[in-house]
Amino acid sequence: MKLVHISDIHLNADPILGLDSIANFKKCLAYVEAHDHDAERVVITGDLTHYGLEESYRELAEILKASSLKGKLEPRLMIGNHDNREMFASVFPETPRDDAGFVQWTEETPAGVFVYMDTVDQGRHSGRYCESRMAWLKEVLDQARASGQKAYLFMHHNPVRVHVANADIIGLMDERAFQSLLREYNDTAAHVFFGHCHYTLSGAVSGVPYSAPRSTNHVCWPDFSGQINRMGYGDLAPNYNVCFLGDNSTVVHSIDFLEAENLKWKIYEDLEFS
C-alpha cells in the first residue's frame, strides 16, 4: 500500500519566518497530484494552521475542494498544537471524533487499520495523551490484535525524545505511559507516523519503528547543543514522505518537492543487468 504522509503545513495569511505557507502547501499538493496520485491514502498529521484561525481552516477547505485529490484521496486531516480543536471541527464537521470529543478515529485500509490520534493539549505546545485517550487506543489495539491486523498509528507530537532540546520540551508529556503501551502492543503496532519537529526523523520506540517528515513550510535544523531557546531554520528544503506498507516491510522516502525543478533525467538505452 502506498501512503503519502504530510505534516505541519501551518496555513496562515501572513508569512511565517518570511515564507508563504499557503503557496508552499499548494506546491506540495500539486506535486502529490502529479506524481503520487496512485497513493491509497494521504494523511496530514497536524498543525494545519499556524494560529487556529477560522480563515485559515476555510483556506484549507478551499484548497482541498479545488484539488484533484478530492474524493478517494482527499487527505485525512489531524490536528496539532497550533490548531484549535473546536474551530477545526466547525469547518470540518465531517471529521470523526471519539465519545470524549477528541479528534481521533480508525480506518480500515489494505495494509491494516490506520489509527488517527489526537495528542493536542489545548493552549499548550506540548502534547498529552490522557487516560481517556489511552483507554480508547488500548481498545483499538486489542481489536486489531484479535483480528490479526497490523495497526499504523498517526499522531502529531513526537512520542520519544529526539535529543533536540527545543523539541523534547514540547513533545508528548505522557511519553512514558505511551511507550509502555507500545511495548505491550509491539506485535500489533507496525509503525508510528508523526510530525511536530519539522525535520526528517526515523527510528524505533518500544520496538515499534517511526518516521516523520519535515514541514511543508518552515523547516527546522536539528540542534544537539542542548539550548532550549534556540531554533535553527533557513533556506531549507520542505518535504513530505511517501511510504510503502508491505506485508514484511515498511519503506519511507522523503520527497523534497520544491527541488523538483532542479531534477534531470538520464535514459540509458543499452543498459544490461546481470
pLDDT at 70: 82
Cα 10 to Cα 25: distance, rounded to the nearest angstrom: 9
Residues in the chain: 274
| Segment holding 243, helix H or strand E | strand 240-245
Residue 1: partners with Cβ closer than 8 Å, 6 or more residues away: 40, 41, 109, 110, 111, 244, 245, 246
pLDDT in tens, 84-99: 999 999 999 999 999 9
pTM over 0.75: yes
User: What's the average model confidence in pLDDT over 103-123?
Assistant: 97
- Cell numbers found for residue 62: 478551499
Instruction: Name the residue type at position 119.
Output: T
pLDDT in tens, 196-205: 999 999 999 9
Coil, strand, or helix at residue 58? helix
Place of cell 507516523: 193
pLDDT at 58: 98
Handedness of CA 85, 89, 94, 97 (dihedral sign): positive
When the pLDDT of each residue in the chain is averaged and rounded to a whole number, the result is 96
* pLDDT of 274 over the 60 cut: no
pLDDT in tens, 239-255: 999 999 999 999 999 99
Residue pair 57/48 in contact by the 8 Å Cβ criterion:
yes
For 118-133, letters b (16+ CB in 10 Å) and e give bbbbeeeebbbbbeeb
pLDDT at 157: 98
Cα 219 to Cα 52: distance, rounded to the nearest angstrom: 20
- Cell numbers found for residue 237: 528544503
Per-residue confidence band for 135, with pLDDT thresholds at 50, 70 and 90: very high
Handedness of CA 137, 208, 83, 71 (dihedral sign): negative
Cα 145 to Cα 139: distance, rounded to the nearest angstrom: 10
